[in-house]
Amino acid sequence: MRQGLICAAGHDSGSRTFLPFVKEQIVADVETLQQDYLAQIANADLAALEEIRIAALGKQGAITGLLKTLGSMSPEERQEQGPRINGAREAVTSAIAARKDALESAALNERLAAEAIDLTLPVAPSPQGSVHPVAQVMDELAEIFADLGFAVATGPEIESGWYNFTALNMPETHPARAMHDTFYFPDRNADGEEMLLRTHTSPVQIRTMMGQKPPIRIIAPGRTYRSDSDATHTPMFHQVEGLVIDRGITMAHLKWTLETFVRAFFERDDIVLRLRPSYFPFTEPSAEVDVGFTVEKGKRVVGGDPTGPNGGWMEILGSGMVNPKVIEHCGLDPDEWQGFAFGCGIDRLAMLKYGMDDLRAFFDGDLRWLKHYGFSSLDVPTLSGGVGA
């Protein structure tokens, strides 16, 4: 197969030497050259295709050389031979582009076939996180109380002494205000008030009553801080408090709400509650709430007969009717508005429900513990499916 154009002097065009042609030689050589290149292009791979392009259309290419001869032709010859030479150039250019597209498309299809993913194979395992039991219990509480008409309220974790103590009817001499029980900041705020890490989420109740008109039904979950640390206490822990403010609220409403909550949370209908008289400065009257339990396989299980041989009572939360002084501090008339409040540790609820023994493990960050007690991110609590699903 010829590799170049035969010139009038009898030299091969690969030498890049072009001499004046007679018209008949140009016509024959252009057509032959075009057919030769088209035949080569049809069987070339990508590498050979680039070599053909350079040989035909490069600066020293055969067809480029023919185009250069147009300048030495007479106007009549140029008018006749120009279209033929340009036609050859366009034909070769188009053939190279088409062949290149076909080769690249074939290479892509071959690669796709070789790299195909078998969707019938199982997915390779990858590391997965889990939902912490505290976060899971918070979601469960929100789901249960939302069904009872409660909203979720939040507030700052750094509070002033007025919101954390004074508004809640805690005098300056109250033990909870002592330095060994509370984390205080060295600086005071712009109003000269002492600042501290909140010891409970009760300040959220104060802020809600001051910023929202009754009736009010909220729960306030969140982090709280106290200077305490042992197997059942940590300096930082999680608490949820509930508040209802309305007309005609009584202890009967409180007891029904707590029974409904505890039975839904532990998913048992045989749970019995016992309210014992107690004292909290922000509620009057106040009551400690005990839940009945039985011992099954050496562990306490909430529910069953607390008066039986394997039964008993354990405290789970504090509650009471909101003290009229607290209602007054929030700008409401205690003769018109009454309410009840309750609070319990979220960490303790998680320990009781899911059989955990040491509260300190909640904050160790041990992956083995988290894998054992953690929940899937898809295990969203629902009352219909079971809040602890």
> How many angstroms separate the CA atoms of 228 and 221, rounded?
20
> How many angstroms separate the CA atoms of 230 and 347, rounded?
14
Find the largest Cα–Cα distance for the chain.
124
Residue 313, H or E segment: strand 311-322
> How many angstroms separate the CA atoms of 265 and 281, rounded?
28
> How many angstroms separate the CA atoms of 144 and 61, rounded?
83
What is the amino acid identity at position 179? M
Number of residues that this document lists for the chain: 389
51 is in an annotated binding site: no
Q: What strands lie across the sheet with 158-160, from one edge to the other?
A: 158-160, 194-197, 184-188
Beta carbons within 8 Å of 224's beta carbon, 6+ residues apart? 157, 197, 198, 199, 200, 201, 236, 237, 238, 239
The residue written with tokens 């008066």 in the block is: 307
Beta carbons within 8 Å of 28's beta carbon, 6+ residues apart? none
CB atoms within 10 A of CB 19: 12
Integer Rg of the chain from CA:
43
Cβ–Cβ < 8 Å for 368, 360:
no
Residues placed in the known binding site: 284
Residues placed in the known binding site for Mg(2+): 284
